[in-house]
Amino acid sequence: MQSVQFEAPGTVEQAVALLAGATGDARVLAGGTDLLVQLRSHMVDPALVVDIKHIEETRTLVRNADGSYTIGSAVAGAEAHEHDRFAAEWPGVMESWDLIGSTQIQGRASLGGNLCNASPAADSVPAMIAAGMTANIAGPGGRRTVPVEDIPVAPGRTSLANGEFVVSFNLPARPAGGGDAYLRLIPRTEMDIAVVGCGVALVLDAGGIVTSARVSLGAVAPTVLLVEDAARAIVGTRLDDDALAALDAACQAACSPINDKRGTIVYRTQVAGVLARRAARIAAERAGSR
Amino acid sequence: MAKHHVTTTINGEPVEFLCSTRQTLLDVLRDELNLTGSKEGCASGDCGACSVMLDGRLVCSCLVLGAEAEGKSVETIEGMAEGDRLHPLQQNFLEDAALQCGICTPGFLVAAKALLERNPDPTETEVRYWLAGNLCRCTGYDKIIRAVMRTAAEVRGEAS
Amino acid sequence: MARILLTDSLSKQFTGGVADFEVAAPSVRALIRELEERYPGLGAQVRDGFISVAIDGDIHQDAFLEELAENSEVAFLPAIRGG
Amino acid sequence: MTGEKTEFKWVGTRAIRPDGHDKVTGRAKFGSDFALPGMLQGRVLRSPHAHARIRSIDTSAAEALPGVKGVITSADFADQPAELAAAGEALVNYRDMVRNVMAREKVLYDGHAVAAVAATSAEIAEAALELISVDYEVLDHVIDVDLAMEPGAPILDEELEPAGMEASGPTNIAKRVDFDLGDVEEGFAKAEVVLERSYTTAAVHQGYIEPHAAVASVSEDGQAQIWCCTQGQFMVRAYTARLCGMETSQIRVTPSEIGGGFGGKTVVYLEPLATALSRKTGRPVKMIMSREEVFRASGPTSAGSMTYRIGATRNGVITAFEGTIRLEAGAFPGSPVQPACMCAVAPYDIKNVRLTGYDVVVNRPKVAAYRAPGAPISAFGAESIIDELAKELGFDPLQLRLKNAAKQGTKAAYGPTFRRIGYEETVEQAIASEHYSAPLGPNQGRGVASGFWFNIGGESAATVNINEDGTAVVVSGNPDIGGSRASLALMAAEELGIDYTKVRPIIGDTSSVGYNFLTGGSRVTFATGLAVVEAARDAVRQMCERAAKIWEVESDGVIWRDGHAVPASSNVGDFEPLSLADIAAQSPKTGGPICGHNAQNVQGAGPGFATHICDVEVDPETGRVTILRYTAVQDVGRAIHPSYVEGQIQGGAVQGIGWALNEEYIYNERGQLENPGFLDYRIPVASDLPMIETVVVEVPNDRHPYGVRGVGEVPIVPPMAAVANAIENATGVRMEHLPMSPPRLLAALDAARLPEAAE
C-alpha cells in the first residue's frame, strides 16, 4: 500500500499529461463508485488518482442541433435525469443508467466510469451499445472516437492506451420510429449487480415492421456483447411470436457465461432470451408510440 | 506525501481540514471533524448509513474522497435540526417508532429529506425505491416508509 | 409425588432409558438430592449442567430454590437462551 | 401476578423513546464512535484458508514498521481448559473460545484471526498486517454439514469426543441429542397418510448494520476499561477477564449504543484482542471490523439439513412426527440443534414425536445466536411438510393447524405441559383476517406458517433512584437494542404514578449496576422489566414509609395511589396526599436517599407463538419472487409499547423473508467466502417489500405483573415456510432448499414443466 498522489486538472490536456506521465498505476476518478471500493478493499494500489470532474467537457450533457447528444463521461445519472429531453428520447439508456446502484450512487456514478470499469455486468453498457453510442477518447496521441463496444476487452480491462481516457460520448439523434429499452435480472429489486442485462434499440416503419435493430447482452460473456444475430432475427418482422422466439434463441446462442455467486450458466443463458423478448417488446411499444 | 488542505462548508459553517488521498469524506467527517453521526456500515456504498448531501446531491460519503470536497458544501445529519427544533422527519421518526437500534437512522433521515425536497408528494413505491440504498435490518422498513409518507403529507399541508 | 420428565439424551446417559417417573420432593433442591441418590450423576448434572427446568410448564433459568407442589410436573430440558 | 390492574396510564401507550432524540440527530454514540486521547488503531490479520495448520508466525517485520506499537498472536493468550459457559444460545467452551478469538494450532475457517496489530493509524496497522508472515500447511476442508458427517471427511479436531453417541474414530459430530414423546411407531401405525421429506437451509448472517467495534484501555495498575457494542456488557467482562487472565473487578465494560445484534453480539471477538493490545502497548486501542470481517469472522447461524416423517389420519389428526436435524456449528461445537429439535413442532399437540439432532463442526465461522436460534431452520421443514399434509388431506392449511393446535394442558414435544398459551388465538385471528380471504391473481399464491419460541427470563438487577425534584432514574443493565428503555420507563412510570417523561432510564456499566444476563432470548422487557417493576415497588414502599414518618403514623397506614402517598383508611387520619415530589423533597429529613432496588433470577417467561400469512407472485420465466402482502399474527402477552412490539414483529418477518429468498453464505472450492458484503449477501431492501401488517394478540403471561411475553424472536420462525408454501400455492412447485433464489426456483419450475428433461 503506497501513498497516492491526487490531482484534479481543469483541462483535458493536463489530465492526459498527468496520466501519461505517471510512474506506476494511474486511475481516473469520475463518480468514484467503483474506484473507492477498489481502493478500500486493496484491489487496486495506484500511485496517482486523477479527478476529471473539473474538466468542463466531462461534466456537460448537451443536445446538439441535429438531435444527437454529447454526454460528458463524468456526468452522473441524477444529472442526466434533470435534462429536459434526454430521458424521454432515450428511455432505455436512461433506465440502464438509473439501475446502477442506489439513489446515492445515482448522484455520482457516470457512464464513463461504468464503461471503463469494464465489468461484463455493467448496466449502462448494453443500452449504450444498443443505442449505437461512441466514445470520444483523449490521449497523448490526440483524440479518437470509437464505438462503445470496442472499449472493454476483458473483465476489468479496456482497449484504452496508456494516458488515454474517455472524455465524452456521442449518442445519435433518435431516429423516427425508434425506441429503446434496457432490462436486467437481479434477485432483489435494487442494489444488485445484473445477473443478466439486455439492451434493445430498434426502428419501426409506419407499418410496424422492424427496419433496424441493435441488441446487446450483459453478464453473459467476458465483455458486454453486441448480438448481431439477434438483431437479424427481428429485422423485417412485426415482432410476432416466431420473431421473438428467434430473438430468444439467437441471444441464448450468443451467451458464454460462467457459474458464479450471482447466477449459473443455465440460468443466465435462459434469462438472456427472456429479457431480450421483453426488452424488444418494450422498445417496440416506445417506437410505436411516437 | 503531504496531506491535502481542503476548504469546505459543512452544515453551513466554513471548515478546513487536512486529509490524505486515501481518506474518504466519511473518514474525514468521523475521524478528523468528530462528526460521528454519519455511520460506516459497509464502506462500499451498499448500506447508505453514511449518506450526506454534497453540493445538494445525496451521496454515500464513503464513496467520496475527502480531497474531492474542496470548495463544496456538505450537509450531514448533525445539521438537520435547527437549533433545538427537530426537522419534521426527525420528529415523525420518533413519533412513528421508525427506528429500533438507530444505526441506520441518520442515513435514512438525510436520504428522506433529499427525497421530500425533490418530490413533495411521493408514492409509497417512490419512497421505497428512493430509500433502497439505505439498509435497515431492524424495522422491516414499514414504520420508516410510513413516517416519510406522513411527513410528506404534513409538509404539503394535508392532515395525516 | 412430582412427575419427572427427562429428555432422551439425559435418560440414555443416566437412567438407562427411564424418562418418566415419580419422585417425592418438596423442592427442586430436594429433588436433586433424591435424583442423585437414585441415579448417580443425574442430580449433579441437573444442578451444575446447562439444564433448564420446567415446573408445570414454566421454564426456569435456574430452579434450584423453587418449591414443588404435590403433583408438580418437572421437566429437565437443555438450557434455553436465545438471540 | 397479573390482573392486579387492567387499566393503565402509560403501559400500552406509544410514548417517544427516551434515547430517541440522540438517535435522530446523530448524537448517539455507537461502538465505533468512541475515541480516547493517544488511542491506537488495531487491525486483525485473518486466515485466507478454510483449514490449515499454522507452522509458524513471524511478526518481526510488522513490529519494525514505524508507527506499530504492538503485535499479538495466540502466544499472548494463555490456553484454556475445556469448560462450558453460557453465551447466547450456544454453550461456549473456553478452550474453543480462546482459539476462536485467535487461532492456535490451526486456522479453521476463512477469516479466522491469526494475529493483531496496534499502530498509530489505521493505514499503518493495515500495512503492518501485510508484513506478518504466516507459514501455513493447508489441509483439506469441509463446508457442508452432510459431507462433514460422512466417513472420510476432513476432521477439524482429532480429539473431538462426541456427546450422546458412540464414535468409532475421529468425527466432526460434536453431539447427538434425542427427544422422545409417546411412541412414534404406534403413531405411524395409526396414520392413514404418511409423508417423508428432506429440507436444507443455508447459513445466514444476522446482518446488523453496525460492525463490531471496541475500545480498550488498560492502565499500569492492571485496571481495564472497555467500551464496545455488545448485547451484554457482563458477558464481555466475564469472557475478557477469563481470556486475558484478569479479575472481573478489574474490568469495567461500558456498552455503547448498539447498532443491531439479533444474537450476533452475544459473544466476544475484538474485546480480548483490544485489551491484550492495550496492555501490551500501554495505550488505548480501538478496533473496528470491516463489513467483510463481519461476514467472514463473526457468527452466522447454522446451515441445516433435515429429514422429516409425518403421519396423520384422514380426518386431520397428526398422529406421529419423526425427524433428524443436522446443524452446522461452524469451526467449534455449539450449534443450536437442541432448540431446533424442541421448537420444530412445538405449536402442535402431537402425541408421538421423536427428534434426533446432530451438532456438526465444519470449516466455517463458529455460529452465534440468531433470533430464536435453531427454530427457524427446523420450522421451515416442519411447516412445509404440514402444508403438504394439508394438501394431501384436502384441508385448509390453517384449519389443519387449528385442529392440531397446542393449548393449555398439551404436552409439548420437548417435555413440559403448556400453561395458558395463545397459539390457537393466532391461528383463529389469521383465519378471520381480511388478508386470508382476499382474492389472488395469476402466478400468485398464498402461504401460511406458524412458529414458536420459548422466551427466557434470567438474572436481572435494577435500581430506581428517586430524585429530589420528584423525578426518577431507572438503572438497569441490558443494552437497548430495539426500544427496551422505553418499555422499562413506561412500566416504572406506571408503578411510580409519575409522568413518563419524568423517568429517565439508563443502562449501567458493569460497575454501576448489578449483574444482568445479556440482551437475548426476548428477555429484557419481560425479565429486566420485572426487576424494574419490583425496584419501583421497593421505592414506593420506602416512600410510603417516609410518608408515615412525616404523618407520624404506622407505615402500614399508608398506601400508594396515582403517584401519591395517601392514608390507607380514614382511621389513619386525615392527611393531604403527599406526591412523590413532596416526599423526595423531604427525604434528607426522613432517612436519606430513596433508592428502590431489585435483583433476581427471573423465572416463568411465557412461550410465544405466531402465525404468518404471505402472498407472493412468481415470474414463471425468471423464477423471481415478489412478496405482495404479508400479515403476522402473534401472541405477545401484553404490548407495553405497541409500536416497538409491532416493529419487532415486522423486522423479524423481514429477516425471515430475506432468509427465504436470497440470503446465503456462498463458498468457493477453496472454502473461501465469496460474498462477504452487502452487495452479494442480499438482505431485503425497502423496495423488495410491502407493508408488514401486524395483528397483536394479547394472552397475558400470568408470571409477569403486566402479562408480558417475549416478542423479538418468534416472528423470524414462520416466514421461510410461509414463503415456500406461498410459492407452492402459486406454482405447484415445492421448494425444499433455502434460499429460494431465482436460479433455484427457475430450475425447479423448469423441472416441473418438463419432467422428462429433469431426469
What confidence tens digit (pLDDT) does each residue in B65-84 have?
A: 999 999 999 999 999 999 98
Which candidate, A189, A131, B149, places its Cα nearest to that of D622? A189
Q: Which of B22, B78, B132 is facing D26, going by the closest CB pair?
A: B78
- Rounded to 5°, angle at Cα D18 from D14 and D22: 120
Tell whether the model's pLDDT for residue D311 goes beyond 60.
yes
| D743/A263 CB distance under 8 A | yes
Per-residue pLDDT averaged across C56-79, rounded?
88
Cβ under 8 Å to B: D residues 184-223: 206-211
Taking the C-alpha atoms of residue C60 and residue D332, their distance in angstroms, rounded to an integer, is: 27
Tell whether the model's pLDDT for residue D3 goes beyond 70.
no
Confidence of residue C57 (pLDDT cuts 50, 70, 90): confident
Q: Provide the residue count of chain C.
A: 83
| D126/A195 CB distance under 8 A | no
**Contacts of residue B37 in chain D, CB cutoff 8 Å?**
25-27
Interface chains of chain A (3 or more CB pairs under 8 Å): B, D
Which candidate, D44, D29, D75, D35, places its Cα nearest to that of D217? D35
**Contacts of residue D290 in chain B, CB cutoff 8 Å?**
43
Backbone angle region of B34, left / alpha / beta, with phi > 0 → left and psi within -120 to 50 → alpha: left
Using the Cβ of B134 and the Cβ atoms of chain A, whether some distance falls under 8 Å is answered with: yes
Query: Could you give the residue numbers annotated as active site of D?
Result: 713
**Partners of D356 in the β-ladder:** D178, D324
**Contacts of residue D89 in chain C, CB cutoff 8 Å?**
80-83
Chains B, D: CB contacts under 8 A, how many?
A: 184
Strands B51-54 and B57-60: antiparallel
Q: How far is C22 from chain D (nearest CA, A)?
A: 15
Q: Which of D338, D371, D456 is facing C61, going by the closest CB pair?
A: D456
D301-449+608-758: CATH topology: Aldehyde Oxidoreductase; domain 4 (3.30.365)
At residue D7, the pLDDT reads: 85
**A171 C-beta neighbours (distance < 10 Å), count:** 24
Using the Cβ of B138 and the Cβ atoms of chain D, whether some distance falls under 8 Å is answered with: yes
Tell whether the model's pLDDT for residue D4 goes beyond 60.
no
Write out the DSSP string of D477-502. Answer: -S--SSSHHHHHHHHHHHHHTS-GGG
Phi, psi of B4 (to 5 degrees): -85, 140
* Digit-coded pLDDT (tens) for D591-634: 999 999 999 999 888 899 999 999 999 999 999 999 999 999 99
At residue D239, the pLDDT reads: 95
Sign of the dihedral through C-alpha D593, D599, D603, D609: positive
Using the Cβ of D702 and the Cβ atoms of chain C, whether some distance falls under 8 Å is answered with: no
Cβ under 8 Å to B: D residues 71-90: none
At residue B159, the pLDDT reads: 62
Which candidate, D641, D614, D592, places its Cα nearest to that of D726? D614
Using the Cβ of B140 and the Cβ atoms of chain D, whether some distance falls under 8 Å is answered with: yes
Sign of the dihedral through C-alpha D25, D28, D32, D36: positive
| D742/A267 CB distance under 8 A | yes
| C13/D164 CB distance under 8 A | yes
At residue D377, the pLDDT reads: 98
At residue D139, the pLDDT reads: 98
List strands edge to edge, sheet with D558-561: D558-561, D564-567, D578-579
Q: Could you tell me the end-to-end alpha-carbon distance of chain C, in angstroms, rounded to an integer?
A: 36
**Contacts of residue D623 in chain A, CB cutoff 8 Å?**
267
Using the Cβ of B111 and the Cβ atoms of chain A, whether some distance falls under 8 Å is answered with: yes
**Contacts of residue C79 in chain D, CB cutoff 8 Å?**
86, 91
Mutate to test the interface with D, among C5, C55, C81 (most CBs of D within 10 A): C81
At residue D87, the pLDDT reads: 56
Low-confidence ranges of chain A (pLDDT < 70): 1, 289-290
Per-residue pLDDT averaged across D550-565, rounded?
95
Q: Walk me through the domains of chain B, giving residue ranges and CATH numbers.
A: 4-79 (3.10.20.30), 88-155 (1.10.150.120)
Using the Cβ of D29 and the Cβ atoms of chain B, whether some distance falls under 8 Å is answered with: yes
| C83/D179 CB distance under 8 A | no
Tell whether the model's pLDDT for residue B34 goes beyond 80.
yes
**Contacts of residue A40 in chain B, CB cutoff 8 Å?**
24, 43-44, 62
CATH class for the region spanning D35-139+210-259+265-297: alpha beta
D35-139+210-259+265-297 and D301-449+608-758 agree in CATH topology: no
Which candidate, D383, D394, D441, places its Cα nearest to that of D730? D441
Taking the C-alpha atoms of residue A31 and residue B60, their distance in angstroms, rounded to an integer, is: 11
Phi, psi of B25 (to 5 degrees): -60, -35
At residue B158, the pLDDT reads: 81
Sign of the dihedral through C-alpha D25, D27, D30, D34: positive
> Residues C68, D251: contact at Cβ < 8 Å?
no
| D19/B102 CB distance under 8 A | yes
A5-119+134-171: CATH topology: 3.30.465
Tell whether the model's pLDDT for residue D85 goes beyond 90.
no
At residue D90, the pLDDT reads: 54
At residue D5, the pLDDT reads: 61
Strand residue runs (E) in D331-428: 353-361
Q: Which of D206, D520, D603 is facing C82, going by the closest CB pair?
A: D520
Q: Cα–Cα distances in Å, from B15 out to A284, B75, B83?
A: 53, 12, 19
At residue C1, the pLDDT reads: 87
**D85 C-beta neighbours (distance < 10 Å), count:** 15
Taking the C-alpha atoms of residue A246 and residue D317, their distance in angstroms, rounded to an integer, is: 54
| A188/D621 CB distance under 8 A | no
Per-residue pLDDT averaged across D66-93, rounded?
85
CATH 3.10.20.30 is held by the domain C2-78: yes
Burial classification of residue B13, based on how many CB atoms lie within 10 Å of its CB (0-12 exposed, 13-18 middle, 19 or more buried):
exposed
CATH 3.20.20.140 is held by the domain D20-27+457-602: no
* Digit-coded pLDDT (tens) for D684-741: 999 999 999 999 999 999 999 999 999 999 999 999 999 999 999 999 999 999 999 9
Tell whether the model's pLDDT for residue D664 goes beyond 50.
yes
Tell whether the model's pLDDT for residue D758 goes beyond 50.
no
At residue D91, the pLDDT reads: 66
* Digit-coded pLDDT (tens) for D216-265: 999 999 999 999 999 999 999 999 999 999 999 999 999 999 999 999 99
Tell whether the model's pLDDT for residue B138 goes beyond 70.
yes
**What is the per-residue burial (b if ≥16 Cβ within 10 Å, else e) of D409-422?**
ebbbbbbbbbbebb
Taking the C-alpha atoms of residue D260 and residue D23, their distance in angstroms, rounded to an integer, is: 13
| A267/D747 CB distance under 8 A | yes
DSSP single-letter state for residue A93: H
Average pLDDT, chain D: 95
Q: Which of D675, D688, D742 is facing A185, going by the closest CB pair?
A: D742
* Digit-coded pLDDT (tens) for D448-500: 999 999 999 999 999 999 999 999 999 999 999 989 999 999 999 999 999 99
How is chain A split among helix, strand and coil, in percent rounded to 5?
A: 35, 25, 40
Phi, psi of D235 (to 5 degrees): -65, -45
Using the Cβ of B47 and the Cβ atoms of chain D, whether some distance falls under 8 Å is answered with: yes
| A188/D679 CB distance under 8 A | no
| B44/D291 CB distance under 8 A | yes
User: With pLDDT > 90 as the criterion, what percentage of chain D qualifies?
Assistant: 93
**Contacts of residue D688 in chain A, CB cutoff 8 Å?**
188-190
At residue A93, the pLDDT reads: 97
Q: How far is B139 from chain D (nearest CA, A)?
A: 4
Delimit the domains of chain A by residue range. Answer: 5-119+134-171, 178-288
Residue of D nearest to A277 (CA): D621
Confidence of residue D759 (pLDDT cuts 50, 70, 90): very low
Per-residue pLDDT averaged across D419-442, rounded?
97
Delimit the domains of chain C by residue range. Answer: 2-78
Confidence of residue D521 (pLDDT cuts 50, 70, 90): confident
Architecture of domain A178-288: 2-Layer Sandwich (3.30)
Taking the C-alpha atoms of residue B137 and residue A282, their distance in angstroms, rounded to an integer, is: 35
**Contacts of residue D662 in chain A, CB cutoff 8 Å?**
187-188
Is chain B in touch with chain C: ≥3 Cβ pairs within 8 A?
no
Residue of B nearest to D694 (CA): B142
Is chain C in touch with chain A: ≥3 Cβ pairs within 8 A?
no
Delimit the domains of chain D by residue range. Answer: 20-27+457-602, 35-139+210-259+265-297, 301-449+608-758
